[in-house]
Amino acid sequence: MSESPLSPTTRRRRFTVDDLLADTSPQARGTRELAEAREIALDRIEPDPDQPRRTFDPERLEELAASIRQQGVLQPIAVRYDATRDRYVIIHGERRWRAAQLAGLPTIPAIVRQVSDEQRLIQQLMENILREDLNALDRAAALRRLKQQLGDVPWEQVAETVGIKRSRLFQLLATEKLPEPVQEAIRAGRLSEKQTRPLQGLPEPLQIAVAQLIEQDGLPQAEIERLARTLRERTDLALLDPRELLPQLRQFIRPIGSATPRPARSTRRSSRAVQLVTALERLRQLLETTDPATLDRAEREVITEAFRRLGSSLHRWRTALGGAPESS
């Protein structure tokens, strides 16, 4: 037999931030909520497809599941009843619901609430934005959804509504502009939002390469910021083959406790090679993207003379490099 939800109707009114936070804070209600909760079968509950949270750390879910096996679910989840399908949809507490499934529980304590779709989504958004344990990308997505739900108000008003600084809001939003490999590292917890801040404004290949360096070498924040400042003056490195980029970037990293990059002599030699490769790559790209048929007579004469001089230089370099030992 199907369970019927709580039935009192709710009168439409303006909700304050305190109202919304009070509705989504199980700790504030403590044991009173447990007393009000009912046990509902896990297979009669489903996630809300509009839930802003998209990422759940498998390891942390397993930890929560282990705790639930020992102590049970200490805080009830909140659900709404969908009479058309005789199902319960999660308002908040999806992580606890998932962990309870892993723990093998048949039921979970839940409080059934009657809320409008608008209020429900705002509650979920507010809860997710204020959770520091969520990754920055989920929080940024929640901020955008909240802005829409509030009538596309200015970002300043969104920050005021949520209760975070305007600068913090834009730091979270900036993660959405990072390349996908960097975003994936944030979602997986391999990089923090703070570690990626210095990457803003660098060419995409450099953003990806520096992110890989941070993961592989465990660079401290000060070194990440110093490296990013250096690379803003060396954006030509972005033209290198990705396989060559990481070794080149490591030339700019300071060893811990050192005041100068390592090793200075090798770096100078490497920098000369990078500059030559970069110039040749730019020339190659120009030649491949320029149609000779579009040149007038004067332009053809100038370029022909430039090719003559370049040919002489290239011949000299080929001859010199031909005697160089091959790399192993």
Q: Assign 153 to helix, strand or coil.
A: coil
**Strand ranges across the sheet with 107-112:** 38-41, 107-112, 77-82, 87-92, 45-46
- 8-state DSSP, 79: E
Task: Tell me the CA distances in angstroms from 114 to 3, 5, 14, 119, 215, one per residue in order.
Answer: 14, 8, 16, 10, 46
Q: Is 94 a catalytic residue?
A: yes
Q: What's the distance, CA 205 to chain centroid?
A: 16
- Type of residue at 49: P
Q: What angle do CA 59, 62, 67 make, to 5 degrees?
A: 130
- The answer to whether 95 and 67 are in contact (CB under 8 A) is no
Which residue among 36, 46, 59, 94 is the active-site one?
94
Q: Give the distance between the most distant pair of CA atoms in the chain.
A: 91
Say which residues have a Cβ less than 8 Å from residue 66's Cβ, sequence separation at least 6.
103
Say which residues have a Cβ less than 8 Å from residue 205's Cβ, sequence separation at least 6.
238, 240, 242, 245
Q: What's the distance, CA 158 to chain centroid?
A: 20
User: Cα torsion at 291, 308, 283, 236 (round to 10°)?
Assistant: -160
Q: Which helix (H) or strand (E) holds 179?
A: none
Pairing of strands 77-82, 107-112: parallel
- The answer to whether 79 and 90 are in contact (CB under 8 A) is yes
Catalytic site residues? 94
